[in-house]
Amino acid sequence: MNGWRTIGTARFGLAVAVVSASMVIGVFELARLRSPSSAHEPFPEGVSAREYQLAKESFELKYHRIADRLDVLSWLAEWYLGRERRPLAVNCFAAIPSAHPQYGRMARYQQGRALLELNRAVESEQQFRELIPLEETAPTIEPRYLTDARQRLRHLLEVSLRFEERQQLLRGVIARGEADHFELLVFCFPSHLRWNGPTTVQWLERFQASDPADPVLNVALGRYRTGQGKLDEARPILESVVHARPDDRFALAALLACLRDADDPDEWSRRMTALPAQLSDDPWLLLIQRGVFANQNDQPEIAVAAFEQLLSQDRTCTEAWTGLAESWLLLNEPVLRQKALAMVAGLGRIQNNLSKVNLHPTNPDGYVYVADMCAEIELDHEGLLLTQYAEKLAPENERVRAAREMFQTRLASRQGGLSEKP
């Protein structure tokens, strides 16, 4: 009898084990049935069924839970990155929605980085532009990733010569006190750091080769070629964009600058005469063309309006101050002309010293030295930003503190004015 009970107990235990095993197998089978291959969800392009299954098994082995589709895609994307198979990693990240609470934001960040490494600048920018406002509103990832995303977006804007957009991006970075030394200098003096160096040109050429139809990249390429003196290359590139996008003022401004450098006054004048009225969001390069054309045609009031609009956005633009000096000469305003010429001279001295600050970014004296030059030509907002940054580097430095307080006092005594909004 006891033997029967033992056998019965054993049979019962075996039955329970079989049922339990069946339940476990059933759960995993359910998960298998929900995999992309059986649920008719396609794998991301280039992903094989074998690699997908291996990733699924690896995930489940490490985390001891059933992997859903996004678990597997995230795992696969990281695996591909580790093996420098970036196009496949991009495809996996692209299949992960931004709204996913665990993987979404990092997918956008890593997708943007991988695309940038592949020189697919247009797509990379889209990822960073999607990520940044989401993280600024409700952060879910480490702050360093947001900082890096902003810096990479800034890089994309710089390479494609969209300085107006870069200034908007940096304004928020400056306001939050998150700028590094280079971002500070670029924000305060947006037109004074070299923009067409050989490395930057090479970046743009790689970006444009990856997306040869993109108008923004083609406009930038045309501007670089103009800056290199390759006007015969620049002109057809820019004319093609203007023909396809006649309302694109950035493309038109670049073409006008090319025509002016190419010494084609008739075509330049014809196109300038056909321009629509000045708008509040005209590109900086177009405002320069408007001002120069107006001065040449003895319309200094129109020139003043163009140059002052530009200076309201970039107080340190030497070309605008030079044009304004000519306008004041035509208008017989010697005092205003002298002020404009003083700005040109002062900005020249500042530009000669910016490279020193950039080479020695941890030396507070360099920032104060440039800030003193800013004080001479009433660039008080820029001077304040420079001394505030220097004070972070040397909080106990009395000279730095005194300089910062001086700029604060000067700004407080002003009510409006161009220097308040660089």
Q: Is residue 419 part of a domain?
A: yes
Question: Rounded CA gap, 71 and 112, in Å?
Answer: 19
d(CA 316, CA 404): 20
Whether residue 367 sits in one domain with residue 336 = no
Q: What is the pLDDT of residue 13?
A: 43
**Same-domain pairing of 420 and 380:** yes
Handedness of CA 69, 71, 73, 76 (dihedral sign): negative
Q: What amino acid is encoded at 261 in this protein?
A: D
Q: Give the model's pLDDT for residue 194.
A: 76
Domain boundary, last residue among 309, 340, 371? 340
Residue 41's pLDDT is 80
> Looking at 340, 371, 388, which one is the last position of a domain?
340
Same-domain status, 334 and 281: yes
Grade residue 9 by pLDDT with cuts at 50, 70 and 90. Answer: very low
Residue 187 falls within a domain, yes or no?
no
- Boundary-marking domain end, from 289, 306, 340: 340
Band (35; pLDDT cuts 50, 70, 90): very low
User: Of the given ranges (57-66, 195-204, 297-306), which has the lowest mean pLDDT?
Assistant: 195-204
pLDDT over 60 at 2, yes or no: no
Long-range contacts of range 342-345, CB-CB < 8 Å, 24 or more positions apart? 342/377, 343/318, 343/377, 344/318
Under 8 Å between Cβ of 72 and 52:
yes
Handedness of CA 13, 16, 20, 22 (dihedral sign): positive
Q: Is residue 220 one of the residues assigned to a domain?
A: no
Contacts of residues 126-129 at CB distance under 8 Å and 24 or more positions apart, as own/partner, are 128/152, 128/153, 128/156, 129/153
Give yes or no: residues 367 and 322 share one domain.
no
What does the DSSP 8-state code read for residue 48? Answer: -
* pLDDT above 80 (res 420): no
Confidence check: pLDDT of 10 > 50: no
Q: Which residue has the higher pLDDT, 198 or 13?
A: 198
Report the pLDDT value the prediction gives residue 34, as an integer from 0 to 100.
41
- Does residue 12 register a pLDDT over 70? no
Give the domain extent around 281.
277-340
Asked if residue 301 belongs to a domain, the reply is: yes
Same domain membership, residue 369 and residue 336: no
Is 13 contained in some domain? Answer: no
Read off the pLDDT of residues 220-233 as tens digits, 9 standing for 90 and up: 999 999 999 999 99
Same domain, 283 and 323: yes
* pLDDT at res. 40: 56
User: pLDDT band at 391, cuts 50/70/90?
Assistant: very high
Question: Residues with Cβ < 8 Å from 163, sequence gap 6 or more?
Answer: 157, 190, 191, 195, 284, 314
Q: What gap in Å lies between CA 234 and CA 226, rounded to an integer?
A: 6
Distance (Å, whole) CA 174 – CA 184: 7
pLDDT tens for 160-188 read 999 999 999 999 999 999 999 999 999 99
Mean pLDDT for 414-418 is 57
Identify the H or E element spanning 161. Answer: none
The least confident of 11-15, 281-285, 397-401 is: 11-15
pLDDT of residue 416: 52
pLDDT beyond 70 at 3: no
Domain assignment present for residue 248? The answer is no
Residues 327 and 284 placed together within one structural domain of the fold: yes
Indicate if the pLDDT at residue 419 is higher than 70: no
pTM: 0.87
pLDDT at 193 over 90: no
Q: What is the pLDDT of residue 415?
A: 59
* Residue range 237-259, pLDDT digits in tens: 999 999 999 999 999 999 999 99
Identity of the amino acid at 228? Q
| Gap between the Cα atoms of 37 and 16, Å rounded | 32
Instruction: List pLDDT tens digits, range 348-375.
Output: 999 999 999 999 999 999 999 999 999 9
Token pair 């709204």 in the structure block, residue:
99
Average pLDDT score over residue span 53-70? 97
Return the higher-pLDDT residue of 1 and 281. 281
329 & 379 share domain:
no
Q: Is residue 323 part of a domain?
A: yes
Domain-located, residue 112:
no
Whether the per-residue pLDDT at 83 is higher than 50: the answer is yes
Q: Domains in the chain: how many in total?
A: 2
